[in-house]
């Protein structure tokens, strides 16, 4: 199954983007996380409105992984720019991966520092996408295509 949606860039991502320009570091969107907290609990066909201020508490490693994550972060398989100034990030959910109820999709990013740095591998939420509830079965493979407009 192929799934396409647009995601909201978070306030933290905007702040980090400004910081990267000021300090001369690169940003890299590296991972997807899927979760189950994006639909209205009273109506499975209604997606909640994403909050640009969404910023999960850091875990013991310092990563900001959303609490509703069904699986550890999954690598992005491609990123392409389309003519409407949207970058479309793709991720493949293989059979047996991230099975269950899915209604939230997060793109995670990190800084790319030129030298060793304490925050080198820390992941934080770049963008948020909430959808109506869908269920991924164990024997299904999905491709997620999430567009992010700047």
| Percent above pLDDT 90 for the chain | 69
- Structural domain count, the chain: 1
Residue 144's domain comprises 2-149
Instruction: Give the integer Cα–Cα distance in Å for 150 and 13.
Output: 11
Would you place residue 82 in the very low, low, confident or very high pLDDT band (cuts 50, 70, 90)? confident
**Number of neighbours of residue 6 by Cβ within 10 angstroms:** 12
Residue 100 is predicted with a pLDDT of 92
Global pTM reads 0.91
Instruction: Give the integer Cα–Cα distance in Å for 105 and 129.
Output: 5
Pair of tokens at residue 60? 């013991």
Would you place residue 107 in the very low, low, confident or very high pLDDT band (cuts 50, 70, 90)? very high
């Amino acid at each position: 199954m192929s799934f396409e949606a647009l995601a909201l860039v978070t306030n933290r991502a905007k702040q980090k983007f400004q910081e990267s320009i000021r300090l001369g570091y690169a940003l890299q969107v590296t991972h997807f996380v899927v979760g189950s907290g994006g639909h209205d609990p009273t109506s499975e066909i209604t997606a909640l409105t994403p909050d640009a201020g969404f910023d999960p508490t850091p875990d013991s490693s310092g990563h900001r992984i959303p609490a509703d994550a069904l699986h550890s972060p999954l690598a992005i398989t491609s990123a392409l720019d389309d003519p409407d100034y949207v970058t479309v990030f793709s991720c493949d959910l293989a059979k047996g991966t991230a099975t269950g109820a899915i209604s939230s999709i997060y793109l995670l990013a990190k800084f790319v520092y030129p030298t060793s740095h304490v925050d080198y591998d820390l992941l934080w939420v770049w963008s948020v996408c909430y959808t109506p509830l869908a269920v991924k079965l164990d024997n299904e493979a999905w491709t997620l295509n999430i567009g992010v407009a700047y």
